[in-house]
Amino acid sequence: MWKFWKKRTVAGSSVQGSLSDLREHFELETHGTHGFPLGPSTLAYDTSRHLMYIGTFNGEMNMYGSPGVKLASVHLDNFKVLQILPFLSEPALITVCSNNILNKWQILEEDEGKAQLVLKRTYKFHGGLAKTITTCCLPPYGECLFVGTLGGITYPMDTEFDGMSPEVLSWSRARTYLGYKGKDVPGEVKALKINTAYPKQLLIGYEHSYFELWDAMTWKPITLFGPLKEGGDLTDVYWHSNGSQFMSGHTDGHVYIWNSLSPDSPPILKSIYEETKLHPLKSLIWPDDDFIIFSGGSPYDTVDGDSVTIYENREAITLQLTSPVKGMQIIESCLTDKDSGIVGISSDVGTTSTVRKILILLLEQEILFIDLSTPQLPLLQPPYLYSLHNSPVKEVAVYGNINKEVWSIINCTGKVQQESVYRAPTKVWPIDGGVLEGSFHDSKDILLSGHEDGSVKFWDIRQLSMKLLYEVKCMQYFNTPETEFGRSDSLTDDLSQYRQIGFWDPRSDDDQLIVSALKLVDDHLLIGFQGGHTLLLTTNNQTADRTIILLRVSIMRDDPRQRPRGWQAPLEVRTDPIACLPGFQPTHCIHLFPTVAVSALAIAKEQGLVAIGCAYGFAVVDYIKNETIYVHCTFDQTIENLTSMSRMQSIRRSFRHSMQRVNIRRSMRGLQSVNRSIRRSSDSPLVRSGSARPALFNRVSSVRRSRGANAASSAKENVPPQSAVPQAVATPQVKRDSIRTIDFTAPTHLGGSSLVHGLLVGTNQGAVLGFTVDMPSSKQRGQRSPVVMPVDKEYNQRKNHSVLFVGVVDGLNYLLDANDEGSYKQKGTHYMIICTEDMLRVTSIPNTKKKYRVRFKQSEQDELQAISAHYLRVSGRSVILVMDNEGNVSIYGLPDLTLIHKENCVDASDAVGQRHFLCSSLGIVLHQKSPSEFVRASITDMARLDIKFTLPVKGSTPQMPVRFSRPLSDGPHLVELSETSGITKRPKSPKSPSKSSSVAVASPPAAPAVSSPPPPPPPNSANSSISNTMIATAMGSITNTKPQNASPPPPPPPSSSTPNPVSTASLLTDSQDVFDDLGPVDSKTSVESGASARSRKSVSADSRKSVELPDHYFIAHNPELRERFEERAL
């Protein structure tokens, strides 16, 4: 018998080779996101590096530069980002979150040249509700951060979060310093603005319209303004470019102009609208005399909702928006005459440049870029940040290797569509920070998105910046009622005062227009709608008038009483010729009855067949001869209970069942009450009364008990007890199986040994139906239609699990697709690949023998199930990619279903991302992150993007005096004392300073750029290496802010030096509570203090008053104060 033993060989093993070699081709790598961030909360722009920042309500922070340059990061606790403050001197920024924490981020470059956002330090404010951060301000020199709080106090602090001055900027201090009397309550700090013309001046605006002007260098108040006699609370403040005026906006919608040179003069009311009742003004921009831009502040009578007003040359233009404003910013870009699109200029003057102003409006649902240099205020087309959810996304599909001719047609037509919406004269993008490097693959990949308003959009996903290519608006092909108020998609050319702007529109005119299925095959596009309509569109490179051919298909028997009427009536297709632009143009419309959403689509382009699946079955239509050739119903219509009923019948039936339930409940309630009365004791009033009631109760109870005993005995013998309840009678189960997948195949062995075209259908209950399609010859194609015949075989025996994928592969494991000409030449044994929610199976055809199978569930208690399946061809080998409900991507080799790779891709709790998981033939992976975002990744080495970008490290920073004297990390530098401006930073120099009033601050030990060693520490110093961070912490301990888990320094040795006449307590008289420092994120928690300190002598109060330095500066650089401060801290 051993002579019949043969080693089992795997089909196709000679070509497939070892599947272990495939593992090196699969690795999941996330590249970024496509779309618009969900829930934006703030906007910032880096003028030095031309970078834009957007923060969101869930703690995300995105950085955008030139097209393709993007960085993203998330805060630790996912709190709302309130403000983003970029540095001008270094590639860093500070974020303010709603949990009262300041975060410092830095842009670093990895070894491979890729940049990333890294969180370096965090700082949390403590102190209750009064110390809640409301706004912050970062001056251009970037050495000091001003933090405004809810209690009305502004705290200056070091940007490295390791040094903080005890001096604060408050209304009471300014009033006392300037000699004002009164007990005014200004409220919380609403605005902190640096004077653009004089960066030494800081303007503080309070809630109740009080203003302070401070010297940002010496921290001395200059003057006070306000309050308003009549007006609302303050919302925003903006400096004029000349630096002598500033404008304030208020909750009553009015704006006022204040003269900073004349604080006693009353403010001037700037009347924009004649109406008195206005919306509250939220934010304000006043760049020059030509423009005043503010959000809100529009009349209640004429504008309903959010708006932005652009006041130019005494004319106000109100832009009505689609969602609330989250941020406004004006940026400037220099253009040459060639870039600006000016016609008629000679080439010799082409080098002249003009400054163009762009207004960025960050809305809650979209972002708009308005060209202020053009009188019509047109929109500028962005290369990224498109809103996918202008109309909610209902269906998505991804396709690769698009036909070049189709790509050219939709690209050219898409440019015409975009030019009609974005009318800016130039296409040069102003946000050009960063340099993108790397190579992109040549495959033309697109993402199709079907929306609620019936539109289908084509997106270019070849690069990281997803761009809108083309849009098909299907609403124009149906007779839909006109909306009451028309809305334009962009700014119009007319000069009307009120204009509509924006693209986001979540409202749908008709639910039957919702796109429910998409299918693209070369130049044929199938669009299925929720109302049962299916549009067939083909490409055309010329404008043409199209008349749509309507085909009606009844899957169930037509009953006039079941036809929907009124608002539920199906949409009517236009029968008149429709003028269509080049691109996809409609040819046929197939309407299924009953009106139900289309669930699956398939097309055989060469055969001229279309298959449409829905909840009641499917139909095959020949669109060449315009007739239906096959209809299959999966809904059982023979059940008598499901036949149509009139309205009175349904009312009587529902009323009868309701009364039966009420009577049963009453009888059960009566039985319980009688039993309770029987259980009463003998001293009951009913028993003592001697009436006939006890006999009645005894008689009733005996009857009840006998009936109950008889019923219980009969129930035990015949049926379960619950079957005696009338409403628990089992009704016949409805046989209803909706279509999940449907596809045409190339000639296969479905019908037997001969090769015939096939049709495979997968249902929601786990059935796999096979059909053969008898195609006539090319000569007889115009005379007769194909014949569809069912195959009398069961391909899937395990029911109640939805079918996700059905396909047929040949002996070389190529998928036999009806629209792939190469698949017809394949020979050998054919196998059917069936993927359901619980199993992946390989079955041979036509004998339907099970060859291989993989069960996803490890046990019956396991809830693991598949969500989707995709066929891929990688490095000449075929695999099946499966996404499960835990977010894992599993790759199985064909045909033996060997597990090659498994990796987590989507969060297990993200059901939307798992359901909308897409994979192209190249291996590009997309899954929906939010209603407006898709995450882009690659699962194969062919789809991986090997790109990187660099960002400018140095920026243009003005040399401004600084207040803090902390050592910097870029080596030693010199600081010079000044009576008027404090400390002035000078360039590095290895030489020692010649002036006695200058102090040399040494660098940390990690900086190797020091040419000469630092001088020795001064004598009688207890701990000369104490850092500024330790000093700030010790100051916190004096002011009832004790650091936790901090080891005390060693006690200082006794010193015979003369003590300083100025005590430490006198230096901290005006100090406030110091906040607790969370410490830096990295290991570098402190910075070593300077080794060369001031000479050992007493510091008088007059000398301290002349230079106006922070208190902790003297403590750090004076030996006597250092000793006494350490003793006080211990």
Average pLDDT over residues 331-354: 53
Residues 984 and 1116 in one domain: yes
Tell me which of 290-294, 625-629, 666-670, 1063-1067 is least confident. Answer: 1063-1067
Nearest to 1126 by CA among 1100, 1077, 1118: 1118
Residue 623 is predicted with a pLDDT of 93
Q: For residue range 141-165, what is the model confidence (pLDDT) as tens digits?
A: 877 999 999 999 999 999 988 766 7
Residues 1010 and 940 in one domain: no
Nearest to 889 by CA among 833, 830, 935, 842: 935
Question: Is the residue at 82 inside a domain?
Answer: no
Residue pair 935/398 in contact (Cβ under 8 Å)? The answer is: no
Average pLDDT over residues 5-16: 43
Residues 1108 and 1071 in one domain: yes
Residue pair 332/357 in contact (Cβ under 8 Å)? The answer is: yes
| Whole-angstrom distance, CA of residue 898 vs CA of residue 903 | 15
Residue 548 is predicted with a pLDDT of 95
Q: What domain count does the chain have?
A: 2
Question: Is the residue at 55 inside a domain?
Answer: no
Residues 933 and 990 in one domain: no
Question: What separation in angstroms does the CA of 215 have from each of 133, 179, 212, 1103?
Answer: 22, 17, 10, 20
Residue 1099 has pLDDT above 50, yes or no: no
Residue 1081 is predicted with a pLDDT of 39
Q: For residue range 714-763, what is the model confidence (pLDDT) as tens digits?
A: 444 444 433 333 333 333 344 568 999 999 999 888 877 788 899 999 99
Residues 1007 and 1111 in one domain: yes
Residues 1121 and 979 in one domain: yes
Cα radius of gyration rounded to whole Å, the chain: 39
Residue 915 pairs in a beta bridge with none
Residues 943 and 1053 in one domain: no
| Whole-angstrom distance, CA of residue 640 vs CA of residue 1106 | 101
With pLDDT > 70 as the criterion, what percentage of the chain qualifies? Answer: 68
| Whole-angstrom distance, CA of residue 294 vs CA of residue 278 | 13
Average pLDDT over residues 1023-1042: 36
Residues 977 and 891 in one domain: no
Q: How far apart are the first and last CA of the chain?
A: 94
Question: Is the residue at 736 inside a domain?
Answer: no
Residue 570 is predicted with a pLDDT of 82
Q: Which domain holds residue 884?
A: 866-951
Residue 675 has pLDDT above 70, yes or no: no
Q: Show the tokens assigned to 233.
A: 């609370």
Average pLDDT over residues 417-427: 87
The three-point CA angle 832-833-834 to 5° equals: 110
**26-35/353-363 β-pairing:** unpaired
Residue 1075 has pLDDT above 60, yes or no: no
Centroid of chain to Cα 645: 48
Query: Helix, strand, coil proportions of the chain in percent (round to 5)?
Result: 15, 35, 45
| Whole-angstrom distance, CA of residue 663 vs CA of residue 640 | 27
Domain end: 890, 921, 951, which one?
951
Residues 1045 and 1112 in one domain: yes
Question: Is the residue at 939 inside a domain?
Answer: yes
Residues 927 and 1014 in one domain: no
Q: What is the DSSP letter of 897?
A: -
Nearest to 1024 by CA among 971, 1085, 1096: 1096
Tell me which of 247-256, 893-902, 1072-1081 is least confident. Answer: 1072-1081
Q: What is the DSSP letter of 278?
A: B
Question: Is the residue at 1020 inside a domain?
Answer: yes
Question: Is the residue at 292 inside a domain?
Answer: no
The three-point CA angle 487-489-492 to 5° equals: 85
Q: For residue range 797-824, what is the model confidence (pLDDT) as tens digits?
A: 667 889 999 999 988 888 999 888 665 5
Q: What is the DSSP letter of 623?
A: T
Residues 1001 and 1118 in one domain: yes
Tell me which of 68-77, 81-90, 495-504, 1054-1063 is least confident. Answer: 1054-1063
Residues 873 and 996 in one domain: no
Q: What is the DSSP letter of 407?
A: H
Average pLDDT over residues 836-859: 88
Residue 506 is predicted with a pLDDT of 79
Residue pair 936/30 in contact (Cβ under 8 Å)? The answer is: yes
Tell me which of 229-243, 909-923, 1017-1031 is least confident. Answer: 1017-1031
| Whole-angstrom distance, CA of residue 94 vs CA of residue 88 | 12
With pLDDT > 90 as the criterion, what percentage of the chain qualifies? Answer: 45
Average pLDDT over residues 434-461: 88
pTM of the model: 0.75
DSSP sequence for 856-868: S-SSTT----EEE
Question: Is the residue at 1055 inside a domain?
Answer: yes
Residue 279 is predicted with a pLDDT of 92
Extended beta strands in 446-532, E state:
446-451, 455-460, 467-473, 498-500, 515-521, 524-529
Residue pair 344/314 in contact (Cβ under 8 Å)? The answer is: no
Which of the four pLDDT bands, split at 50, 70 and 90, describes residue 661? low
Q: 414-419 — which CB contacts under 8 Å span 24+ positions?
A: 414/458, 414/468, 414/469, 414/470, 414/471, 414/583, 416/581, 417/470, 417/471, 417/581, 418/381, 418/468
Which of the four pLDDT bands, split at 50, 70 and 90, describes residue 401? confident
Query: Across all residues in the chain, what is the average pLDDT?
Result: 75
Q: For residue range 687-726, what is the model confidence (pLDDT) as tens digits?
A: 333 444 444 444 444 444 444 444 444 444 444 433 333 3
Tell me which of 505-514, 632-641, 864-873 is least confident. Answer: 632-641
Count of helix runs (H) and strand runs (E) in the chain: 12, 64
Question: Is the residue at 566 inside a domain?
Answer: no
Residue 720 CB burial class (10 angstroms; 0-12, 13-18, ≥19): exposed
